[in-house]
Chains A and B, each alone.
Chain A
């Protein structure tokens, strides 16, 4: 299991490939891999967003992510999990969050991925501040899905 915060842009597909082949990689043991990649849009609520500042609570953010993934692991007993989340200054089209789950069969991977994503969005202490054409705006709530 790898949970990480990154303050620089990362390639989610390269991270998946590296995790699968170098860090973990028991080929033949998993039958399903589910991946969610969250990417920064250049618009929100009708406005053009130039870039994003993602604030977090060092220490608590990592703890919450671990707790969320552990909880999901107990419920779905998947084989491996990779969760990477950006912090700091983010530009449109950059990856904000990557969740990848490996399991024996598809339902555990798919269900755990969705659960971890929703739990992360509602519980992990991250806050988005958008730079608009004129000024800044804190995002007050998540989109409905």
Chain B
């Protein structure tokens, strides 16, 4: 299983990286993925996530080859 994880804005700076490719053994949801790259901590409520450029939730399933993005609340306009 291979997943491209991307970070934006203040989260990108906090994580210290723009993206990473991870190959987890056993992973079902967005929350599982977040925990895999954050020492087991759950996905914070104020963060948003998208799978393949569509909004998703902590419980949404992730699949091999997905691009999963995490980012703070949006502030355009």
Chain A residues engaging chain B, CB cutoff 8 angstroms: 38, 54-57, 59-60, 63, 85, 96-97, 117, 120-129, 138-142
Contact = CB atoms under 8 A, between A and B. Distances in A.
Given A57-B69, A59-B53, A138 B76 contact: no
B51 to A, nearest CB: 10
A95 B13 CA distance: 27
Contacts of A56: 76
Contacts of A63: 53-54
Interface of B: 6, 8-10, 50, 53-55, 69, 71-77
A127 B53 contact: no
Given A121-B74, A138-B9, A138-B72, 8 more contacts: A56-B76, A57-B71, A117-B77, A121-B76, A123-B55, A124-B77, A126-B74, A142-B77
Interface on chain A toward B: helix, strand, loop, or mixed SS?
A: mixed
Contacts of B72: 127, 138, 140
A123 B74 contact: yes
A120 B73 contact: no
B77 A55 contact: no
Contacts of A117: 77
A63 B55 CA distance: 11
B71 A127 contact: yes
A127 B76 CA distance: 6
Contacts of B55: 123
Given A57-B8, A60-B50, A129-B9, A96 B77 contact: yes
Contacts of B75: 121, 126-128, 138-142
Contacts of A141: 73, 75
Contacts of B10: 127, 138
Contacts of A126: 74-77
Q: Which of A85, A120, A126 has the most CB of B within 10 A?
A: A126
A124 B71 CA distance: 12
B76 to A, nearest CB: 3
